[in-house]
Amino acid sequence: MQSLKAHLRTLHSLAPANKDNVSAARVAFSVAVPSLVLLAVGRPDLMIYAVFGALTGMYGRTEPHQLRLKHQGQAAVLLVGGLSVGVFLSVNQLHSWALVATETVAAAAASLFADKAGLKPAGPFFGILALGACASVPTTVHWHTAVLIGALSAAFSMAVGFGGWLRGRAWDPDAARDIPALRGALGRAAGIHAARYLTAVGAAGAVGVLSGSGHPHWAMAAAAVPLAGADMPSSVHRGLHRIVGTLMGLVVVAGVLFPWDYSPLRAFPGHETAVMAFLVIVLQFTTELFMTRHYGLAMVSFTPVILLMTQLASPADPVVLVTERAAETILGASLGILVVVLIRRRR
């Protein structure tokens, strides 16, 4: 295992750009349209469902339109599926241990699905994040309305991702993504990968509940992050980036939600929800801008995205929100790294 110093050096390295601004613009537009519609009709509290559906646009960012469409369709199953399970738990007021058990099993199942589909970004992280986040806020509309918002947002995101095809309109009936079948050694590796998610996510959730946290799903999501690494070093890097990036992102959250004189919410009295909604859109752009170049920098933006739309859905004490998010992230990411070390991949 590389030294801690070597891992920390990755916090200062930035991967080369690869038309990241184009992908970021697509995702931001996919988030902006349904979010602004909900804001216009006076329901910014429902943005959480629209944003998770719109994250479909993060997948297949560099693929040809034809292949991206299929890739994003598979991602939509993961995201809207996680959202739907979360809404079910919320409607039926199934929290604490019920949430931990459900999200743990979902993480393992979604890991197998993500590996089989070859999803990029890899792993079930965004699906289980949607599950936990939607389970943690009250569902203020009929369940099928919440799910429909997520599904329509995902469909719109796919349309945005496919829109560039209209320029050339080339279609290759034999085009296919090069995804190896999960047989033999690959099948066993996928099984071990799922077991890692089961162990890390379940342990993080259990510790979160036992510690009295009101947001064990944050620890569970953080535990999943290192497991998506391709090898031991990259897994440790992701865990460290998650912790450092989240803590820096919480500084941004504090700057917005805490009652400072220079908070942007104080600059527009009476329009606080609109300010938070616009910040979600802008920060989702910067999240995608750095997602493949520097995971830690991406988390500086993505952490406020999640907390601001959670605050729109279910307002809470900002101090509690920030402190619990910090504690749960450190706990979850650390457990994820530990599981990576203890449960090795098959070579």
Question: Which residues in 218-245 are b (16+ Cβ under 10 Å) and which e?
Answer: bbbbbbbbbbbbeebeebbbbbbbbbbb
Average pLDDT along the chain, 347 residues, taken 10 residues at a time? 56 67 93 97 97 96 88 97 98 95 98 95 96 96 97 97 77 74 88 96 96 92 92 88 96 95 90 96 95 91 96 95 96 95 74
Q: Are 135 and 219 in contact (CB under 8 A)?
A: no
Give pLDDT, residue 184.
87
- Position 273: which residue type? T
CA 249: distance to chain centroid?
14
Cβ neighbours for 268, distance < 8 A, ≥ 6 positions apart: 274, 275
Give pLDDT, residue 17.
65
Cβ neighbours for 26, distance < 8 A, ≥ 6 positions apart: 57, 61, 160, 161
Cα gap 196→86, rounded to integer Å: 22
Give pLDDT, residue 4.
55
Q: Are 66 and 165 in contact (CB under 8 A)?
A: yes
**Residue 66 DSSP SS3:** helix
Q: Are 279 and 272 in contact (CB under 8 A)?
A: no
Kindly list the domain boundaries of the chain, sorted by start residue.
Answer: 20-164+184-342
Cα gap 31→212, rounded to integer Å: 33
Give pLDDT, residue 8.
57
Give pLDDT, residue 77.
98
- Distances in Å between the Cα of 210 and the Cα atoms of 103, 132, 198, 199, 205 are 16, 17, 18, 16, 9
| Tokens linked to 170 | 């080339």
Map tokens 């629209």 to a residue: 50
Nearest Cα neighbor of 304 from 240, 238, 258, 236 is 258
- Distances in Å between the Cα of 66 and the Cα atoms of 71, 73, 166, 167 are 9, 11, 11, 13
Burial class (CB in 10 A: 0-12, 13-18, 19+), 165: middle
Cα gap 316→336, rounded to integer Å: 28
Nearest Cα neighbor of 128 from 147, 108, 150 is 108
Cα gap 131→134, rounded to integer Å: 5
User: How many C-beta atoms surround the C-beta of residue 13 within 10 A?
Assistant: 9
Cα gap 72→279, rounded to integer Å: 25
Give pLDDT, residue 9.
60
pTM of the model: 0.92
